[in-house]
Structure formats: structure tokens, C-alpha cells
Structure 1
Amino acid sequence: MEEMTAITEPEERSPREVWRDPRCLLAFGFGSGLSPAAPGTVGTLAAIPLYLVLEPLGVGAYLLIMALVFVIGISLCTHAAKVLGVHDHPAIVWDEFAGYLLTMTAAPAGWQWPLIGFVLFRFFDIVKPWPIGWVDRRVSGGFGIMIDDILAAVPAWFLLQGAARILG
């Protein structure tokens, strides 16, 4: 009689077990995604210093870096999800980095704009109005992890740019 072996899903692993993996460390937003409370919000906060470093670049260079953040993010998020055995684990916050940085594209100078961008991006990332929520539920893999945050950044960017024009 032939022995049957069950096919099992990968066992879910704690992010703290794998944080020494450089790709996971990046996917976890340099550890910010390991926050026990609101890891997406903490991950977005951790993206602010990166934005401040990139802010002086011209729009062309900034957009090139954004494209790299997105493409690299697909690979990082795919890897971390496989290692953890969970699609879009809360510790994976590279997508928040990408979404926040996209929100801040061509933002005006001044201390208030990174904060306004933070609030706008978090609102759309948490609420996930259509089509963001629809895409979030239907697109999987690293691309799926990244794309809903990119989509959340679009209305956040429009509102940020509108506020900058109105408030000058």
C-alpha cells in the first residue's frame, strides 16, 4: 500500500525569526514593520527620513528612484511573503515606503508637507476606497502587495498637490 503524504502550506514564521535576512530587513522597512502596534503606520513614519534625503533631487531623478523602489519592492515583498508563509504579512512595509514616497513626488518645500502627505497616504492606504480595496483583494504576490499602496498614493498625491496650490 502506497503511503500518502499531505501537501501542506508553508508554516507561518515569525518575522523576528527572519529579520537577519537582508531582503527581509528591507521588506520590513529596516525593522519598522516589526512594531507590535500599527506596523504600516510605523513603516510609513520610517519612510519620512528617506523622503527627506531624496527631496533635494530633481523630479526626474526622484521618479527614477521611485521606479527602482517599486521594481525592487516586488521582489522583496515576494521573498518576505514566501519566507514568512503569509501573503502581505503586516511586518512587510516596503510597500508603505513606496506609497509614501510616491505621494511626496514634487511636494513643496516646508516641514508641514511631509506630515500632510503622511496623513493623506495613511488615510487612503487604511480605508482602501474603490478600486484600491478591490485590487488589494484580487492581486496576489509581491506585485499585489505593492500595487494597492501605489494606488493609495495616487489620490493622496492629487490632494497634496491641490492643497499645495491652494495653500501656496
Structure 2
Amino acid sequence: MSLPRGMSFWHPVCLISTWFGAGMLPGAPGTWGSLAALPVAWFTLQYFGVYGLAAAGIGLFALGCWTSTIYARRTRERDPSSIVVDEVAAQLLVLTTAPLDPAWFIGGFLLFRVADVLKPWPASWADHSLHGGLGVMLDDLFAAVYAWAALHGLVLLLR
């Protein structure tokens, strides 16, 4: 994957949008971005609790709307696959319902990846209808709602 016109890898917009290069790894950038969110979520949940994790996810969503708008404009693509800040923010929000346990984190990761790939409505609507940074970010947020609900249900049922 190439960098946006006139932007180095070290530019803050590039670093945040690609989540420090995770979105430039070969294969499935969204999966890499979601995986890169796991240690951040673990640390944040352990030291700042569920409200800290929610605040991190919401803050990163807002920051991602701004950076992905610039990044997409520079690449002249609607939703460049190298932008993974959307997956990171959404994954953080999904894990707000997960106990601090590797099995629950893996479950949250898998549920989010399934929801992100399937894009049930309104995620599919946001993916096709919205443009700019909000469009890049919002489809993943909608997918995160489905994954969060499924994970929360499992936590209530099995814990």
C-alpha cells in the first residue's frame, strides 16, 4: 500500500489513520487493525476501567473522523483499506462489555470481525451512503453495536 500524496508515514494523520502502520500490513488490514486494538484495550481496561475504555473508543472515533477525512482525500479513495482507526475505535467499544480475560477478548474480536465483514444494516447503509471520515468510521461503529450486543449477551449467559 502506498502513502497518501505528500504525506510521510510519520505524519500524525498517517500514523493515526493506519494505526501506526497496522493498516499497511499485507492481507486483511481490518483484521490487523482489530488485533492491534487488543493490547490497547487490555491496558486501558486494566488501568482505567470500563469508563476509560469507553472514553478511549469515543475519543478515537472522533479523532478518526478527522484523520480519515484527510487521509482519504489525499489518496483520492472513498475508504482506503489502509485506514484501520475505524476498526481500532470500534474494537475498543466492543470490549467495554468484556471481562478482563483473554477468552472474552478473543470472543469480542471474532464477533466484531464477523459483524464488520457482514455489515448488517445500518452498517451497510453507512458504508454505501456516507462519505468522508464519518462514512469511514460510522459503518464500523454500527457493526460494533451488533458485536457488543452479542458479546454482552454471552457474558450475561455464561458468566
Counterpart residue number, 2:103: 112
Give the paired residue count. 156
Q: Tell whether 2:151 aligns with 1:145.
A: no
In the alignment, residue 116 of structure 1 is paired with which amino acid?
G
Q: Tell whether 2:50 aligns with 1:59.
A: yes
- For structure 1, the 5+ residue unaligned runs are 1-12
Q: Deviations over 1:117-160 (max 9, x none)?
A: 00000001011112211121001110110000000000100110
- 1:94 corresponds, among 80, 85, 89, to 85
Counterpart residue number, 1:22: 12
1:128-143 equivalences under 5 Å are 128-143=119-134
The worse-fitting range, judged by mean Cα deviation, of 57-66 and 102-111 is 57-66
| 1:15 Cα offset (Å) | 2.4
Q: Give me the whole-angstrom Cα distance separating, in 2, the residues matched to 1:121 and 1:158.
A: 10
The structure with the largest helix share of the pair is 2
| 1:116 Cα offset (Å) | 0.3
In the alignment, residue 45 of structure 1 is paired with which amino acid?
L
- For structure 2, the 5+ residue unaligned runs are none
In the alignment, residue 50 of structure 1 is paired with which amino acid?
V
Question: Rg larger in 1 or in 2?
Answer: 1
SS at match of 1:30: coil
- 1:40 corresponds, among 6, 20, 30, to 30
Q: Deviations over 1:87-123 (max 9, x none)?
A: 2100000000011011101311211011000000000
Report % sequence identity. Answer: 39
In the alignment, residue 123 of structure 1 is paired with which amino acid?
V
Q: Give me the whole-angstrom Cα distance separating, in 1, the residues matched to 2:84 and 2:129.
A: 19
| 1:72 Cα offset (Å) | 0.7
Q: Give me the CA root mean square deviation.
A: 1.6
Q: Does the aligned pair in 2 maintain the 1:15–1:91 contact within 8 Å?
A: no
